[in-house]
Amino acid sequence: MTADAIGSVVLALVVGVVGIVVGRIYESDAADRRMDLSERQLRAGFHTTIDRMKEGRAKEREYGQELTGALDEAREEVAVKQRRVRGLLTEARRWKAIAASLGWKRETRESERSE
């Protein structure tokens, strides 16, 4: 083999090795970019999930407050009606006592039938 042939073979080997190294570096960079992209996508997905969970909790709190408000209103309405009924019963008892003091007797349907 001549020196030129040996030099050509060595040059081809060096170029091949450099090409392989550069190719591996490029593949590694591409893989890193894909990993970065998938990491960004994962982070975005996690953030989206977390945001949805926060929105859900906020809605639950809002609905809870609305239900509590409605329950408070219903309780107040019931209390007003109970006071009204108690007032009517008190008034009825008072009139019953007045009627009894005047000697009036209660008329019943049975007494009407027997007559």
Q: What is the pTM of this model?
A: 0.44
36-70, pLDDT tens digit by residue? Answer: 777 888 888 889 999 999 999 999 999 999 999 99
Phi-psi region of 58 (alpha: psi -120 to 50; beta: other; left: phi over 0): alpha
Handedness of CA 101, 104, 105, 106 (dihedral sign): negative
Number of domains comprising the chain: 1
Is 112 part of any domain?
Answer: no
More confident residue, 57 or 33: 57
pLDDT tens digits for range 99-115: 888 888 777 666 555 55
Residue 78: its pLDDT value, please? 96
CA distance 73 to 80: 11
Q: Measure the CA–CA gap between 100 and 75, rounded to whole angstroms.
A: 37
Quickly tell me which residue has 């190719």 as its tokens: 23
Any idea which residue has 């309780």 for tokens? 75
- The pLDDT score that the predictor gives to residue 50 is 92
Residue 94 counted as domain residue: yes
Per-residue pLDDT for 83 more than 90? yes
Note whether residue 7 is domain-resident. yes
* Residue tagged 């009204």 (tokens): 84
Which residues are CB-neighbours of 99 under 8 A, at least 6 positions away? 106
Domain containing residue 74:
3-102
Residues in the chain, overall count: 115
